[in-house]
Amino acid sequence: MITRTTNTSARRSTTRRSFAHPRHPATTERPRTMQPKASSEKPRTFEKPRPFSTASKQNFSSPVVKATFEAHFSPNKPTQKLRIMCLGGLEEVGRNMTLLEYGDDIVIVDMGLQFPEENMPGIDYIIPDITYLKDKIKKIRGVIITHGHYDHIGAISHLIPALGSPTIYTAALTAEIIKRRHEEYKLPMLNIQKIDPDVDKITLGSFNIEFFRVNHNIPDSFGVVFNTPVGTVVHTGDFKIDFNPINDKPMDLNNVAMIGSRGVLALLSDSTDAPHSGYQLSETEITHDLEKIFQQAKGRIIVGTFASLINRVQQLIQLGEKYGRKVLLEGRSMNANIEIAQNLGYMHIKPGTLIEDGEFKKLPDEKLMVIGTGAQGEENAVLMRIANNEHRFISIKPGDSIVFSSSVIPGNERTIQTLKDTFYRLGAKVYHYQNMDIHAGGHAKAEDLKLIIKLFKPKYFVPIEANHFMLNIHADIAEGIGIPKANIFIADNGQVMEFSKATPQSETIGVLTKEKVPTEYIMVDGLGVGDVSNIVLRDRQLMAEDGMFVIIATVKRNTGELVGSPDIISRGFVYMKESRELIEEARGLVRTVCKDKGPEHTVDPMEIKNKLRETIGKFLYKQTKRRPMVLPVVIEV
């Protein structure tokens, strides 16, 4: 996979904006705070949660949602331009967010997060830049979320309050996962309308919207059909075609063909697995691969996966039941998601399969399985805690089988490698199956993609949801089956596509324009959104590379004269005890900078600081060819 180079990241950093917080000049010392603005906003009303047991098709499909879905486009009314742009998801696998804009109406599809790259120390994840929407909040008619994976829902809690809390339309399982995740932020409640993709149609401004069920590795995934005054636009979301899915209905190809037969202007289609030829395996077949581990394992089986990989967890639990293993679910998000899926009937677990800590300790190894978070080597996730012997009661012993059930997200390679090394050293066997993967097993491969293009028969084709090279491969696939090259738009993040008619009767023409809306990285660190600016990140990179050098100088307020000997602290730069000479020379330089300037000079501590930073920085570079972060502290007495 391609990751962005440092240079590009640095370029992107220069105009990074924050929405949840005002820009803050401070660099490193600022405490992390969460969302002061959002809490002042009036909480939206929210449909009362229904008890799960009574959930039925009627409950999911709201009558409000069905309201006025009728073609309301007058054939003689002059049309405007339909503008489509992706704020993320065209240069990476992650940060998915697509906008459709027609006149005064904007509809958003997905609001995902992206995992950080290796040159972003301390960053938890990246979310889309919503600068373009800032003065268009009144135009936002709704947000449609295609499924419950973090690269499609992860930015909701951060962005929705900043966008005037528009209504979210999504399927039942996704709605519950979003709600559960949102609860952790202690923000005003989200306004979520549950839809049934098989039944519901909604009208949001100029958009008459339908849905079509797709398969993925989480149930309740769907694609979206936007009927607009200039034509029909289809967004597939993440999808695979699975005739034998787990606890889900097969993708509705009949519906897909019907939509195609009515005429599709543009198809925006998932490119994640475009580089792989052939057809994607059914979720049921993926189970057979997993089963081999159960046949071989003598000791405990410990699986690290994503909490949102509901199907995989279901497969593991079923295999556990088949091979007589009791299951301990570890991790808060894991337990929450499984409970939600179970309550909605998307997960079937036999009574007695799931066990608590106490029972786990009593059962023999060959009767045990642990399913936890952490296949990406995430800090604090279950796998990491077990590896570091920091788990409440699980530590690795020879004979354990460790299963990484997801591919490596770029940026996490080294961490995962180290984690695997640790497990091997502790005597465990490690399995890492790519086809049990959130990014591969769940997505359509080349032949599936061809089928979907043939069924929708779009005039224009837009590959989405992957790195640039995968978009190109998907474009070649489309061209190979007859979509003219000129009608395939390989866009970058933020690049605007426009579709319009010269007259109401004429044919709609699409253009991939040169216009680009902002798509900077908005970095989330702990509870802070966008408050890690390029300056903070640069400081972190500097400290990580060359360490820091702190000078504490006490000076007389009226003369600038140094009081006593300046204190020097070095961390990650040189070992003080072995670099006495260097430190002494630096001290001497501090004395030269902080000379007594006599009573007629006013002392400016800022000036002293700058002078110290410059002089000491140059000196250290000359002596060591390293550039530690020089941090002068001037105390006036």
Q: Are strands 301-305 and 192-194 parallel, antiparallel or unpaired?
A: unpaired
Measured between alpha carbons, how far is 140 from 101 in angstroms, rounded to an integer?
A: 9
Sign for the pseudo-dihedral over CA of 439, 440, 442, 447: positive
Please identify, using beta-carbon distances, which residue of 238 and 248 lies nearer to Zn ion: 238
- Active-site residue, selected from the candidate residues 151, 252, 270, 448: 270
SS3 of residue 504 by DSSP: coil
* Minimal distance, residue 538 CB to Zn ion, in Å: 33
Which range of residues in 144-152, 154-162, 373-381, 520-528 is near Zn ion by CB under 5 A? 144-152
* Minimal distance, residue 412 CB to Zn ion, in Å: 17
Helix%, strand%, coil% for the chain, nearest 5: 35, 20, 45
Residue 270 among the catalytic residues:
yes
Please identify, using beta-carbon distances, which residue of 238 and 437 lies nearer to Zn ion: 238
* Site residue total, Zn ion (CB under 5 A): 2
* Minimal distance, residue 280 CB to Zn ion, in Å: 13
88 pairs with which residues across the strands? 97
* Minimal distance, residue 397 CB to Zn ion, in Å: 35
Among 238, 252, 437, 539, contact with Zn ion (rule: CB under 5 A): 238
Please identify, using beta-carbon distances, which residue of 39 and 434 lies nearer to Zn ion: 434
* DSSP letter (8 states) at residue 340: H
- Count other Cβ atoms within 10 Å, centred on residue 23: 10
Nearest to 319 by CA among 362, 346, 283: 283
Please identify, using beta-carbon distances, which residue of 220 and 238 lies nearer to Zn ion: 238
Please identify, using beta-carbon distances, which residue of 132 and 150 lies nearer to Zn ion: 150
* Minimal distance, residue 146 CB to Zn ion, in Å: 8
- 586: its two tokens: 């630096």
Q: Contact 521/604 with Cβ under 8 angstroms?
A: no
């959130």: which residue's tokens?
438
- 140: its two tokens: 């936002």
């996704």: which residue's tokens?
174
Does residue number 283 form part of the binding site for Zn ion (CB under 5 A)?
A: no
Measured between alpha carbons, how far is 202 from 222 in angstroms, rounded to an integer?
A: 14
Q: Contact 338/306 with Cβ under 8 angstroms?
A: no
Phi, psi angles (nearest 5°) of residue 501: -110, 140
* Minimal distance, residue 98 CB to Zn ion, in Å: 14
Binding track over 415-444 against Zn ion, x by CB under 5 A: ------------------------------
Please identify, using beta-carbon distances, which residue of 87 and 590 lies nearer to Zn ion: 87
Please identify, using beta-carbon distances, which residue of 149 and 609 lies nearer to Zn ion: 149
Which range of residues in 233-241, 272-280, 348-356, 564-572 is near Zn ion by CB under 5 A? 233-241
Please identify, using beta-carbon distances, which residue of 238 and 242 lies nearer to Zn ion: 238
CB-count exposure of residue 623 (10 Å: 0-12, 13-18, 19+):
middle
* DSSP letter (8 states) at residue 24: -
CB-based contacts of 321, cutoff 8 Å, min separation 6: 350, 353
* Minimal distance, residue 147 CB to Zn ion, in Å: 6
- Active-site residue, selected from the candidate residues 158, 439, 443, 474: 443
Q: Contact 17/518 with Cβ under 8 angstroms?
A: yes
Which range of residues in 5-13, 142-150, 309-317, 383-391 is near Zn ion by CB under 5 A? 142-150
Binding track over 148-187 against Zn ion, x by CB under 5 A: -x--------------------------------------
Please identify, using beta-carbon distances, which residue of 149 and 213 lies nearer to Zn ion: 149
CA atoms within 13 A on the CB side of 239: 28
* Minimal distance, residue 216 CB to Zn ion, in Å: 5
* Minimal distance, residue 26 CB to Zn ion, in Å: 37
Which range of residues in 75-83, 115-123, 145-153, 408-416 is near Zn ion by CB under 5 A? 145-153
SS3 of residue 485 by DSSP: helix
Measured between alpha carbons, how far is 542 from 537 in angstroms, rounded to an integer?
A: 9
Long-range contacts at 274-278 (CB < 8 A, ≥ 24 apart)? 274/445, 274/446, 274/449, 274/463, 274/466, 274/470, 274/471, 274/473, 274/474, 274/477, 275/446, 275/469, 275/470, 275/473, 276/440, 276/445, 276/446, 277/445, 277/446, 277/447, 278/445, 278/446, 278/447
* Minimal distance, residue 455 CB to Zn ion, in Å: 21
Nearest to 305 by CA among 270, 277, 331, 276: 331
Measured between alpha carbons, how far is 33 from 18 in angstroms, rounded to an integer?
A: 13
CB-based contacts of 526, cutoff 8 Å, min separation 6: 32, 124
Which range of residues in 45-53, 71-79, 141-149, 276-284 is near Zn ion by CB under 5 A? 141-149
* Minimal distance, residue 409 CB to Zn ion, in Å: 13
* DSSP letter (8 states) at residue 240: B
Phi, psi angles (nearest 5°) of residue 570: -120, 130
Residue 21 among the catalytic residues:
no
Q: Which residues are catalytic?
A: 270, 443
Interface with Zn ion by CB under 5 A: which residues? 149, 238
